[in-house]
Structure 1
Amino acid sequence: MKVSYQWLKEYLDLSNVTPEALADKMSRTGIEVEDVSIPETGLQKIVVGHTVEVVDHPDSDHLHICQVDIGEEELSQIVCGAPNIAADQKIIVALPGSRITGNVKIKKGKMRGQVSNGMICSLGELGFSEKVVPKKYAEGIYVLSKNAVPGDAVFPYLAMDDAILELSITPNRADALSMRGVAHEVGAIYDQKPVFPSFELTEDETDSVENYIKVAVENSEDAPSYNVRIVKNVKVAESPMWLQTKLMNAGIRPLNNVVDITNYILLEYGQPLHAFDYDQLQSKEIIVRHAKDGEALTTLDGEERSLTSEDIVITNGSIPVALAGTMGGLDSEIEEETVTVAIEAAVFEPISIRKTAKRYNLRSEASSRFEKGINPATIVTAGDHAAALIAELTGGTVVAGTASETALEIKNSVVSITLDRINGSLGTSITIEEVMVIFERLGFDVSEKDGLFEVVVPPRRWDIDIEADLVEEIARIFGYDNLPSTLPVSAARPAALDDKQRLIRHTRRFLEGAGLSQAISYVLTTPEKAAQYTMRESEATQLEMPMSEDRSTLRMNLLSGLLDDVSYNKARKNKDVALYEIGRVFYKEESRTLPIEEEHLGGVLTGSLLEKDWKGQPQKVDFFVMKGILEGLLAAYGLTEVITFVSDNKREGMHPGRTAALYLGEKEIGFAGQIHPLAAKAYELDETYAFELNVQAIVDAEKEPTIYEAIPKFPGMTRDIALLVDETITNQQLVDLIYKKGGKYLINVRLFDIYQGQNIEDGKKSMAYTLSYLNPTATMVEEEVSKAFDKVTNALVEEYRVVVR
């Protein structure tokens, strides 16, 4: 919202307030002023000129030689190429040595042999945007009003000496999208009551609006108030300069006196209006309704639009003539031949207006106000003011009466608040008298009894509805800088990590030490990916209004996000990737409103953990590399119950022969294995291994206390054993039996070799283990170890029919 400082001074006494001070004060009270600009800044020696004589250049078919009165004793000769230059015009002249926009310096010179003492300027050469230059002067120079005095600085005539404040209006303060709304705001800041000039509406009592038009609204929710005024015998022409300059400084292009007045009222009241050429309506009836699907309307921008049933349209009883609150129709626009004008002043359903403006990319000054809200108390007043101005500037006559269809009830709202609530919220000690003064400055009627304020809020502040709104208003006017600053007070407590935090921190350190890097994936994903690799049955949790289909569902696993991350890396030639993530997954239960959040740990490995170097070739990761990392991590937790890996050939998305479920005692807490080749192909990955664990289950599980022991004083002993076993027998089965029969001094069993191939019969495999023995209280003797080792060998032969090699 661009606000003219000079226009604001028409309502308030700002003689002792500079634009910069006003901007600072407004920013401190809740409406941010982004910029203060004065259009004449940087321009020099630009004056009013009067073309006394204009003749064609003898050596050019488009240049003209102009004799211009610039307030000096002699006329100044200037060569000009503008197509609309003519004698007896008041024009803009840049004198020799002047500066125009872009810091361009104007010098004396010759054009095709003719002396040119300066330059006759267009508005664009003074810094006006092409979007605001009046249509009549878009291709040439600008002609000033007849009362401009030659030799005077041109800036006051064009209001370029005005200060323009650019306000950043938040959606809840749409009341400030008008000059009157800003005047009320500034008046509250400086304890002034704005005074708005009155207007006189003279009607032709011999003629009635009923002779011209009647209006109807099919659904009052679409247009709670719809009003039409008729002005006849108008003469459409160029607007006076005061009106043009106010519009241009606000960023609006002047078109003609009728349309310009509707835009002027929009700026003053914040009330969008629309002017129809009454004769082009070809009807004495206006009906506001929803469009029919496929119904056509050519809007003012020349585009033919196919409407939908969601659009509210203004019709002449049969066909649409305007998109309500958004843009008028081309067939009924104001033209030079227009003699009778129908002025629409209405309010429309805001959500529908926003959707229509977005659907057709027609966001405008009018639609933005309708969608944020307008002052219902000034709808009819704004229409009457527009009719009076049109009659004044066009020489027309206002027909008596208003065609109206309204279901709008205009009333003040009453909000109550106590002094204790105010001071409790703001931390202040404001008195009853100070609160009363603040409400009076805001223009609110207020009564007080025993510290309870009954505040009557006028319709122009439709954003105020609850106690908190009043607290905010008091804080703004009292001054945010005057609110006390206090630091929060809380009891000092020693900082410490809880069990879950310690476990997660340890997990990060361990996995990063093992060569994995932490990843953070999106919590939101697609419904298909959310359902992959789940560890329990659950429905997906969908967002009602997702930003996109790819981010519509809360994840129920970590692996799909990690696989996306690995795929992203592989597409960028990074083939060796090892990632882990600790995050939450979300399960849905019918008995709960909110989803269940569960902490998980996921990891994905592909390629190699080591880079190729002079020592040799790197080895690709496989199931056992991943299993070793997990075993080390789980062992470090010190769980009292045993962790076992159980073959799992039915898990969707995982390789049936290279996947294991992880059990903590009898409870499944996760899985690990190779991603199924078809699933890997969908992610454009090579051989990839992954795991996912329920961290919350590990946190809740019982753990052994940490016991620190001295380094053993006595040496231990080891024995190696190679076994020929059926390939169906797992490593876990053999290790469990070895520990069971190994005796009290067996402290570790390590698999160091697996072999299948030449010299090994089909269906068999060779597995070699190292068994470590240690007696912490004495040196072990050969007989003790041999006896324990023989028990293990015999047990393996009896249980699994192994052949000791």
Structure 2
Amino acid sequence: MLVSTKWLNEYVNIEGIKPEDLAEQITRSGIEVDSIIDRSQGITNVVVGYVKECVKHPEADKLNICQVDVGEETTQIICGAANIAAGQKVVVARPGAVLPGGMKIKKAKLRGEESNGMICSLQELAVEGKLVAKKYAEGIYVLPETAVPGEDALALLGLDDIVLEFDLTPNRSDALSMLGVAYEVGAILSQGVKLPEISYPESTEKAEDMLKLRIDAKEDNPMYVAKVVKNVKVGESPLWLQNRLMAAGVRPHNNVVDITNYVLMEYGQPLHAFDLDRIGTGQITVRLAEEGEQLTTLDNVERTLHPHQLVITNDKESIALAGVMGGLNTEVHEGTTTVVIESAYFAPASVRRTSRELGLRSDASTRFEKGVDPNRVAAAAERAAQLMSEIAGGEVLAGSVTVDELDKTPKRILLSPDTINNHLGMKISLEEMLSILDRLQIKTEAVNGKLVIDAPTRRQDLNIEEDIIEEIARMHGYDTIPMTLPVTESTPGGLTPYQAKRRTVRAFLEGAGLYQALTYSLTSKEQAQAYALETAPVTELLMPMSEDRSVLRQSLLPHLLEAATYNVARRTDSVALYETGSVFLGKGEDDLPKEVEHVAAVITGKWVDHAWQAEKKAVDFFVLKGIVEGMMNSLGLLKGLTFEKADVKGMHPGRTATIRHNGENIGLIGQVHPSEQKKRDLKNTFVMEMNLEKVLSIETEQLVYVPVPRFPSSSRDIALVVSSETSAGALENVIRNAGGKLLKDIKLFDLYEGDNVEDGKKSVAFSLTYTDSERTLTDEEVVKAHENVLNALTTEAGALLRG
């Protein structure tokens, strides 16, 4: 909402108050002032000029030599505007003038002819092109004949004005009008509001004799007021009216349309003007549209209507979309002589639905959607009739054609002063509360220790106790609310063990080089159970946005793979992402899905890329396996962590494993199946997903300090020939169980298949470390422990010692 301070001053006295101070007070009271706009833009030395003579430049076809009276003298100015002509009053920037952007005007010669200044368009005075009347959209701006040469053009154009731009919250629709803003500013400054005085001569002829009205959809349109104005002369609006509309961000058209827009901005009540002769039937009927009914709106777009959309008709065809936009077939034009002024109350839900379905928003629909003041509907029509009488020379017919079944009773709210103070933690006196409500012009009585409040209908946002408490708080001053700490026995806040562990997981993965991703919880039915660690009935949305977002996910991996594809397609060759988020399994309590937190990761491309050292290493299964082991180690859960070969749909059959902890399945790790990689345009891609809730719920042993060994250790290397199907993990378990307390460390350091190893066999080499923290081991003790290991490998795993 753009608020001209010059216009505002007509309703509430703000003389002598700096715009910056006024903006600060308004912001502190609850309506944020986004910006303060100086319409003069630093312009100086711009005056009214009278073009006495205009002839073509002898050396340039598109230039004109003008003799211009600027008050104190007649001077020569070269002008290239196509619409320049003798006899016009124009805006002249004299030599030495400063225009927006700091441009200075100097005397100059154009093709040999002297030019002493510049004849200006409104755009050159920093008025947006979309706000300039179409007649002057190209070329210079022509002032009214009453303009006096030499007088200040800025004042004449209303550019000596400051405009406040409000950033309104949806509940403050009352401030979408100048009167609404005046009530707000009046309350802040403890001043009354001066309302427009409405009076005009009425014809002896009655409006109801020329126009009939019927409402067939009274739920959507409980009130409709029509005024009839005859002998209207359609033309250009007076300059003051155009100036105010442009200051409010509205483009002038003609005096009739401009008056409806002016009253819209003044009262917040949308109006529409019909050409009565174009209505044709002398009848207005408000009804719901018929299926497939066509209407060409004022923007010259033919629209197909639906049965629940409210339309204004002439009892034969639609002539307007109620509350949204008028129809082209009854538009006011230069030949219009009789105007019907429509002022109505349309149900917000009806207007909102029509506007949304047709993709058509207007200043009128914006206000109707939020709810207009029922008590301004008739007043706005009277105000428009007055202005048409004064500005367009119209003859207003007696009375109005009206249907009124609208409840205009103010909302009554009962509230205790103690309740207000208890909510705010303050001690505001009853007298101060009554004073604030009186300044806001909210009718209030104190009865038996309670405030009996009749909320004015202009304030559609005042419905419950809390709304009144907010009014008192903001007008008393939010900055005066005392800062107090709650008086209670409390303990310092902190993270739960689960939250702390989750942060440890995120910190480790980010430290390992993975970026956190956040993806949708909604997915398609086809992707819902892909890569799921645990499947259950899917949860479908009743009203999904699209088929791709119609069910809740049961795995994080499909969307992470989509993110990887998106990045790779944009020339990010190496991608490493992780996510912690919820998956949703079947139905739990109250028919709601069970929500389980998972962690997942996807990596593809290069893991090491040191160009200077000419070192490049692609990601592989063991990179991601190492990340998982490091993450589990950071949680103190490395002991008991194992990986077992698995066969999972969508995963590489030879490079996929389940992740287990003490035998319990907690996740999945492996390479995406080559066919799936090809479909997603990915190179070798490795993924991991774990049940984070299960992992973080595992109890860990208390950390115990182990001194650095003072005694030397002894190492033994063994190379074993085993079946190709035997996993290194299974051999490691056998070694660990057989090694006893002296075996401290096991490392796999070699795997070989090929020459000198028979088919179906492989060679696996381990390095074993034996030590005792209390003494130095003898060779006999190490040999005995090592033989136990070899015997166990032979008997339990069928391994042969390789020579």
TM-score (norm 1): 0.88
State which drifts further: 479-488 or 223-232. 479-488
Q: Whole-Å Cα distance in 2 between the matches of residues 165 and 638 of structure 1?
A: 60
Q: Whole-Å Cα distance in 1 between the matches of residues 719 and 111 of structure 2?
A: 107
2:702 alignment partner in structure 1: 705
Aligned to 1:151, what secondary structure does the other structure show? Answer: coil
Aligned to 1:705, what secondary structure does the other structure show? Answer: coil
**In the alignment, structure 1 residue 692 sits paired with structure 2 residue 689:** yes
State which drifts further: 610-619 or 250-259. 610-619
2:734 alignment partner in structure 1: 737
Shift in CA distance, 798/241, structure 1 to aligned 2, threshold 3 Å:
closer
List gaps (5 residues or longer) in structure 2. Answer: none
For these two proteins, the number of residue pairs brought into alignment is 800
2:180 alignment partner in structure 1: 181
Offset at residue 750 of structure 1 (A): 3.6
Q: Whole-Å Cα distance in 2 between the matches of residues 75 and 624 of structure 1?
A: 90
Match of 1:559 among 551, 557, 581: 557
**In the alignment, structure 1 residue 158 sits paired with structure 2 residue 154:** no
1:39 alignment partner in structure 2: 39
**In the alignment, structure 1 residue 428 sits paired with structure 2 residue 426:** yes
Q: Whole-Å Cα distance in 1 between the matches of residues 151 and 307 of structure 2?
A: 57
Aligned to 2:131, what secondary structure does the other structure show? Answer: coil
Q: Whole-Å Cα distance in 1 between the matches of residues 604 and 98 of structure 2?
A: 68
1:758 alignment partner in structure 2: 755
**In the alignment, structure 1 residue 598 sits paired with structure 2 residue 590:** no
2:203 alignment partner in structure 1: 204
Shift in CA distance, 338/665, structure 1 to aligned 2, threshold 3 Å:
same
Cα RMSD after superposing both structures? 3.7
Q: Which amino acid counterpart does residue 683 of structure 1 have in structure 2?
A: R
Aligned to 1:3, what secondary structure does the other structure show? Answer: strand
Offset at residue 550 of structure 1 (A): 6.6
2:340 alignment partner in structure 1: 342
Q: Whole-Å Cα distance in 1 between the matches of residues 656 and 236 of structure 2?
A: 83
Q: Whole-Å Cα distance in 2 between the matches of residues 48 and 404 of structure 1?
A: 47
1:270 alignment partner in structure 2: 268
Offset at residue 151 of structure 1 (A): 3.3
1:662 alignment partner in structure 2: 659
Q: Whole-Å Cα distance in 2 between the matches of residues 675 and 257 of structure 1?
A: 70
1:217-265 alpha-carbon deviations (Å, 9 max, x no partner): 3333332322222222222233233323322332323222211211121
Q: Whole-Å Cα distance in 2 between the matches of residues 322 and 747 of structure 1?
A: 88
State which drifts further: 515-524 or 461-470. 515-524
Shift in CA distance, 729/426, structure 1 to aligned 2, threshold 3 Å:
same
Match of 1:653 among 650, 655, 659: 650
Q: Which amino acid counterpart does residue 194 of structure 2 have in structure 1?
A: V
2:468 alignment partner in structure 1: 470
Aligned to 2:722, what secondary structure does the other structure show? Answer: strand
1:439 alignment partner in structure 2: 437
1:683 alignment partner in structure 2: 680
Q: How does 1:307-456 map to 2 (within 5 A)?
A: 307-309=305-307, 311-357=309-355, 362-456=360-454
CA contact (8 A) 1:640 1:703 kept: no
State which drifts further: 782-791 or 415-424. 782-791
Offset at residue 534 of structure 1 (A): 1.5
Match of 2:254 among 239, 253, 256: 256
Offset at residue 396 of structure 1 (A): 2.8
Q: Which amino acid counterpart does residue 133 of structure 1 have in structure 2?
A: V
Q: Whole-Å Cα distance in 1 between the matches of residues 341 and 352 of structure 2?
A: 22
Q: Whole-Å Cα distance in 1 between the matches of residues 534 and 758 of structure 2?
A: 41
Q: Whole-Å Cα distance in 2 between the matches of residues 157 and 625 of structure 1?
A: 76
Shift in CA distance, 260/536, structure 1 to aligned 2, threshold 3 Å:
same
Q: Whole-Å Cα distance in 1 between the matches of residues 255 and 327 of structure 2?
A: 19
Q: Whole-Å Cα distance in 2 between the matches of residues 637 and 106 of structure 1?
A: 74
1:583-638 alpha-carbon deviations (Å, 9 max, x no partner): 44444524246654433333444456445689997665554554455456546655
Q: Which amino acid counterpart does residue 382 of structure 1 have in structure 2?
A: A
Offset at residue 447 of structure 1 (A): 1.4
Shift in CA distance, 78/564, structure 1 to aligned 2, threshold 3 Å:
closer
Aligned to 2:129, what secondary structure does the other structure show? Answer: coil
Aligned to 1:461, what secondary structure does the other structure show? Answer: coil
Match of 1:769 among 766, 770, 785: 766
1:103-138 alpha-carbon deviations (Å, 9 max, x no partner): 444455677777665555444444433333334444
TM-score (norm 2): 0.88
Shift in CA distance, 752/439, structure 1 to aligned 2, threshold 3 Å:
same
**In the alignment, structure 1 residue 287 sits paired with structure 2 residue 285:** yes
Q: Whole-Å Cα distance in 1 between the matches of residues 516 and 771 of structure 2?
A: 42
**In the alignment, structure 1 residue 8 sits paired with structure 2 residue 8:** yes
Q: Whole-Å Cα distance in 1 between the matches of residues 125 and 573 of structure 2?
A: 60
Match of 2:232 among 231, 234, 246: 234
State which drifts further: 248-257 or 579-588. 579-588
CA contact (8 A) 1:519 1:562 kept: no
CA contact (8 A) 1:228 1:343 kept: yes
Aligned to 1:289, what secondary structure does the other structure show? Answer: strand
CA contact (8 A) 1:432 1:451 kept: no
1:451-492 alpha-carbon deviations (Å, 9 max, x no partner): 421111110111111222112211222123333344677878
Q: Whole-Å Cα distance in 2 between the matches of residues 602 and 185 of structure 1?
A: 54
Q: Whole-Å Cα distance in 1 between the matches of residues 422 and 618 of structure 2?
A: 66
Q: Whole-Å Cα distance in 2 between the matches of residues 638 and 107 of structure 1?
A: 80
Shift in CA distance, 146/428, structure 1 to aligned 2, threshold 3 Å:
same
Q: Which amino acid counterpart does residue 156 of structure 2 have in structure 1?
A: Y
Q: Which amino acid counterpart does residue 348 of structure 2 have in structure 1?
A: P
Q: Whole-Å Cα distance in 1 between the matches of residues 461 and 531 of structure 2?
A: 49
Aligned to 2:154, what secondary structure does the other structure show? Answer: coil
Q: Which amino acid counterpart does residue 34 of structure 1 have in structure 2?
A: D
CA contact (8 A) 2:643 2:658 kept: yes
Aligned to 1:155, what secondary structure does the other structure show? Answer: helix
State which drifts further: 494-503 or 523-532. 494-503
**In the alignment, structure 1 residue 722 sits paired with structure 2 residue 726:** no
Offset at residue 26 of structure 1 (A): 1.6
Shift in CA distance, 590/335, structure 1 to aligned 2, threshold 3 Å:
same
1:716-754 alpha-carbon deviations (Å, 9 max, x no partner): 444444333333333343333344444453444443333
Q: Whole-Å Cα distance in 1 between the matches of residues 221 and 322 of structure 2?
A: 9
Aligned to 2:228, what secondary structure does the other structure show? Answer: strand
Offset at residue 329 of structure 1 (A): 1.9
Shift in CA distance, 741/292, structure 1 to aligned 2, threshold 3 Å:
same
CA contact (8 A) 1:640 1:702 kept: no
2:170 alignment partner in structure 1: 171
1:492-513 alpha-carbon deviations (Å, 9 max, x no partner): 8578765435544555666677
Q: Whole-Å Cα distance in 1 between the matches of residues 325 and 493 of structure 2?
A: 62
Shift in CA distance, 571/146, structure 1 to aligned 2, threshold 3 Å:
closer
Aligned to 1:171, what secondary structure does the other structure show? Answer: coil
Shift in CA distance, 365/743, structure 1 to aligned 2, threshold 3 Å:
closer
Offset at residue 562 of structure 1 (A): 4.1
Q: Whole-Å Cα distance in 1 between the matches of residues 223 and 762 of structure 2?
A: 89
Shift in CA distance, 793/421, structure 1 to aligned 2, threshold 3 Å:
same
Q: How does 1:571-582 map to 2 (within 5 A)?
A: 571=569, 580-582=578-580
1:398-431 alpha-carbon deviations (Å, 9 max, x no partner): 2333333343211111122222222223332210
2:531 alignment partner in structure 1: 533
Q: Whole-Å Cα distance in 1 between the matches of residues 61 and 360 of structure 2?
A: 42
**In the alignment, structure 1 residue 21 sits paired with structure 2 residue 21:** yes
CA contact (8 A) 2:438 2:444 kept: yes
